[in-house]
Structure 1
Amino acid sequence: MNAVKQLFAMYGGLKKEIYILCFGRIVTSMGSLIWPMLTLILKNKLGFDASQIGLYMMVLSFIMIPCNLLGGKLADRYNKKTMIVILDLLGVACFLVCGFMELSIMTILIYALGSIFQQMEGPSFDSLIADLTSADEREKAYSLSYLSMNLGLVLAPTMGGLLFENHLGLAFIISGLADFSSTILIFFLVKDIKKETNDEEGIYEKKESGALWKVLLKRKILLFYFLIASISGLIYAQFNFLIPLHLEDAFLEKGALYFGFLTSINAIVVIFGTPVLTRIFLNWKDISRLYLGNFLEIFALSFYIFIYDQFYLCVISMILFTFGEIICTISSAPYLTKRIPSTHRGRILSLQNITSMVIGSLGNVTVGSLVDAYSIHFVWILILLLGILFLIIFYFYQKWDKRSYQQLY
């Protein structure tokens, strides 16, 4: 018991607003029933094939490009709490409307609109955490935020799998009500936070004026980082794209339930693994942790080359994949925010999300077409080869990063 207390004690000493935001994420995640099931909804309920699903995801990603950039601009220019509340309420309205509609492509489009509003609030959440923490606290704050999100996800995917067949409308309603509860908490319990002047900002975080493109041209290494992060995003995207297709192919009508079970395992491992891995790797450099995390994700997905209907191997793969996901997540935002001016955090964080999303979705169109033309097994082999190429490129990128940001080493 003392060991557990000591493990979670590292999350102490943060500002109370961080804890309120994290608690709001717990509540929101409790209602995340739809997104993990979206691939199966499109396939089983609406009759899409794999390439059509990939195309839908690509179109949605392209629509999100200007919306994410707008979300980043709003985060840098206006009060972040206000942006979170307004965008959350718009998303909630969309989800509740979906719950009372007969399922159709229009339902999915309205749900996509709600998801866009929620994506737009992401830069406000992430940059607000950076504003409220020093560089030394940031790993712990983002770790706690990620842990909070997954605390709410423990039962949500399994519940979504159970509601999938006969009560899908109820799943939309639960998602909307959970998000609304989170919005209420933030509205009443988070004070009207203005952008703070942080005396502990790192040397590379000093405020700058000027357009986003001017800031990035001074840091060309970040443009290349966005590219390799996008390859990583494409590989990670197979969690919600190729894995459910694999399970549906192997287990037929039980595929949705099994995928919900795997997603719940993912959340459980995050809950117990996040504080442990944060503590173990706290003294590692951000970029070294990113490399290890990506390696574990790629290694875990390579299991599916040999897996077909051996579900216990799917469980082992998911545990390893989640270890990699945890390490990447607690490292990504701290890595980036230590290398960019605080005045541009929202826009640059949103740009990273956009590039990862677009490349991931474009890749999924190709992945879906290859599944239809060849086989899932063949596509898993290609994913592994892409992962090996990514690891080689990232190895050399680390050396460039060390030369560019010497004072962080």
Structure 2
Amino acid sequence: MRTVRGWFRDTAGGLPARFWYLWTGTLINRLGSFVLVFLAIYLTQERGFSASQAGLVIGLWGVGGAVGTTVGGTLTDRWGRRPTLFTAHLGAAAMMLTLGLARDLWAVALGALLLGMFAEAARPAFGAMMIDVVPAKDRLRAFSLNYWAINLGFACAAVLAGLAAQADYLLLFVVDAATMLVTALIIFIKVGETRTAVTVAPGQAKGEPPAGALRTILTDRVFLGFVALNLLSALVFLQHISMLPIAMGDSGLTPATYGSVIALNGVLIVVGQLFVPRLIRGRSRSHVLALASVVMGVGFGLTAFADAAWFYGITVLIWTLGEMLNSPSNATLIAELSPAELRGRYQGVFSLSWQVAGAVAPILGGLVREQAGNGALWLGCAAIGAVTAVAHLVSGPARERRAVALRAATEPVVPVTATRTPAPEAAEAAATAPALPVRSGADAAPPAADSDGVDGSAAGGPGRPRSTESAGAR
């Protein structure tokens, strides 16, 4: 029988110390994410803004986030992970305090715009750091653990934010800013710069990514196809923030009931996420993502028939299972589809899909609901889930081939023997020997039968944001 100690070792053992500093930073940052939980209530009740004005402020936060992920991705590759993340956190902490002290609508709106920009600029740097410090074979476990920390911190923040708001709303902004600073200091001191040197082309400055980086991303059809599928999933997933509370209100349920029902999402993730890596290890990554899309679609689709708190609770538990399958598989796949010298930019573009979904999902959901009805909205979510699942199955092999090619281009060649061979004989041997996959170090693993596996094999790679947060970004 497997002991608790053995399970814990398989789940969290052997990961680099620098990962645990990043993990600690994630947990501290999420424990202080007060403002995100109560911003709409703060703007309408404390500041007296209308619902439309509050929506404008929150929308500007999203616009700033879209700009931040793009700029942050570029700086992550050009300037470095550590300075980008540290500067972004300092700026976000300053703007958090500014937003808390602002009174006029224009000041609040500008503060939200800049806060979104600085806060989201840190996301590509953090994601690139995670990929840099964790070996490929351990990334599935690492991203699952980080996603678990995000949800644990976020769940606790909701409770702590309610207590802090009773004392003083300004306390929400002060504590949130303080946790940002603590996170930045931990990573700046304990993790340091993780960007590795890349091959310098003629005429290229040292440490600079190759020219035409944007063109490389825009012509990477495999990567952009995956980003598009994530956008579809995010449009469905984010309906739980905008349209789900409205649907529950139409069923005669109170906001407190919505809070209790949606809390099931965080509870299930905290309880079960650490078991997911073992569950999906060695399985086809495309199949896992397709299953996740179907499960999320079914969960949101059943909302069309829900009319009581217990029924809504079941739907939340179902789509949460899909979310739990989707997040680690997404994160590891993005890590493998990102060239090392463009890792920050790729992380930024992927995070941008969450920002776009955050702005579009409530508008699109509201339009569908008004024009076609509540049932059409949720059944439409189920249809999108089914389409996304099929697309994952179709595009999966191309993604895995791309991941293999990128890994082969970056892994060092390991000599087969220590025998020294004269140059002519070595050349002849190289010309006649059959081609074999070469691995080294922590990436070494036996080949797998499934070329789309997630077990760390040469064929499929190791077994991703939300929105991010790497983690899908929450």
Report the TM-score range of the alignment, normalised by the length of the smaller protein. 0.7 to 0.9
- 1:74 counterpart letter in structure 2: L
Deviation at 1:224, TM superposition (A): 1.8
Note closer, same or farther for the CA distance 1:63–1:182 as it changes in structure 2 (3 Å cut). Answer: closer
Q: Superposition pairs for residues 339-354 of structure 1, below 5 Å?
A: 339-354=337-352
- 1:4 counterpart letter in structure 2: V
Contact 1:54–1:361 at 8 Å: present in 2 too? no
| Residue 71 (structure 2) aligns with | 70
Note closer, same or farther for the CA distance 1:217–1:373 as it changes in structure 2 (3 Å cut). Answer: closer
Q: Superposition pairs for residues 278-357 of structure 1, below 5 Å?
A: 278-308=277-307, 310-357=308-355
| Residue 6 (structure 1) aligns with | 6
| Residue 408 (structure 1) aligns with | 459
TM-score calculated relative to the size of structure 2: 0.73
RMSD over aligned Cα, in angstroms? 3.2
| Residue 195 (structure 2) aligns with | 195
Q: Does 1:48 align with 2:99?
A: no
Deviation at 1:325, TM superposition (A): 1.5
CA distance in 1, matches of 2:194, 2:401: 35
| Residue 148 (structure 1) aligns with | 149
Deviation at 1:101, TM superposition (A): 4.4
CA distance in 1, matches of 2:387, 2:188: 45
| Residue 95 (structure 1) aligns with | 96
Note closer, same or farther for the CA distance 1:197–1:263 as it changes in structure 2 (3 Å cut). Answer: farther
CA distance in 2, matches of 1:392, 1:367: 23
CA distance in 1, matches of 2:107, 2:364: 25
| Residue 79 (structure 1) aligns with | 80
Query: Which segments of 5 or more consecutive residues in structure 2 lack a partner in the other structure?
Result: 199-207, 405-450, 452-457, 461-474
| Residue 396 (structure 1) aligns with | 394
| Residue 32 (structure 1) aligns with | 33
Deviation at 1:401, TM superposition (A): 3.4
Note closer, same or farther for the CA distance 1:89–1:258 as it changes in structure 2 (3 Å cut). Answer: farther
Aligned residues: 395
Question: Kindly, what percent of the aligned residue pairs are identical?
Answer: 19
Deviation at 1:307, TM superposition (A): 1.6
CA distance in 2, matches of 1:317, 1:105: 39
The alignment partner of 2:51 has SS state of coil
Contact 2:291–2:389 at 8 Å: present in 1 too? no
- 2:396 counterpart letter in structure 1: Q
| Residue 366 (structure 1) aligns with | 364
Contact 1:39–1:244 at 8 Å: present in 2 too? no
CA distance in 2, matches of 1:258, 1:244: 9
The alignment partner of 1:137 has SS state of helix
Deviation at 1:36, TM superposition (A): 3.8
Contact 2:77–2:343 at 8 Å: present in 1 too? yes
TM-score calculated relative to the size of structure 1: 0.84
- 1:6 counterpart letter in structure 2: G
The one of the two structures with greater contact order (alpha-carbon pairs below 8 A, sep at least 6) is 1
Q: Does 1:272 align with 2:323?
A: no
Contact 2:232–2:388 at 8 Å: present in 1 too? yes
Contact 2:57–2:112 at 8 Å: present in 1 too? no
| Residue 215 (structure 1) aligns with | 216
Note closer, same or farther for the CA distance 1:43–1:305 as it changes in structure 2 (3 Å cut). Answer: farther
1:144-166 per-residue CA deviation (whole Å, 9 max, x = no partner) reads: 21122222123222344566688
Contact 1:294–1:324 at 8 Å: present in 2 too? yes
- 2:459 counterpart letter in structure 1: L
Deviation at 1:350, TM superposition (A): 0.8
Higher mean C-alpha displacement, 233-242 vs 164-173? 164-173
Note closer, same or farther for the CA distance 1:302–1:161 as it changes in structure 2 (3 Å cut). Answer: farther
1:199-247 per-residue CA deviation (whole Å, 9 max, x = no partner) reads: xxxxxxxx98332234336632222222222111111111222223334
Deviation at 1:142, TM superposition (A): 1.3
Deviation at 1:377, TM superposition (A): 4.0
Contact 1:7–1:275 at 8 Å: present in 2 too? no
Contact 1:88–1:117 at 8 Å: present in 2 too? yes
Note closer, same or farther for the CA distance 1:314–1:397 as it changes in structure 2 (3 Å cut). Answer: same
- 1:285 counterpart letter in structure 2: S
Note closer, same or farther for the CA distance 1:262–1:104 as it changes in structure 2 (3 Å cut). Answer: farther
Note closer, same or farther for the CA distance 1:305–1:56 as it changes in structure 2 (3 Å cut). Answer: farther
Contact 1:85–1:187 at 8 Å: present in 2 too? yes
Contact 1:99–1:172 at 8 Å: present in 2 too? yes
| Residue 116 (structure 1) aligns with | 117
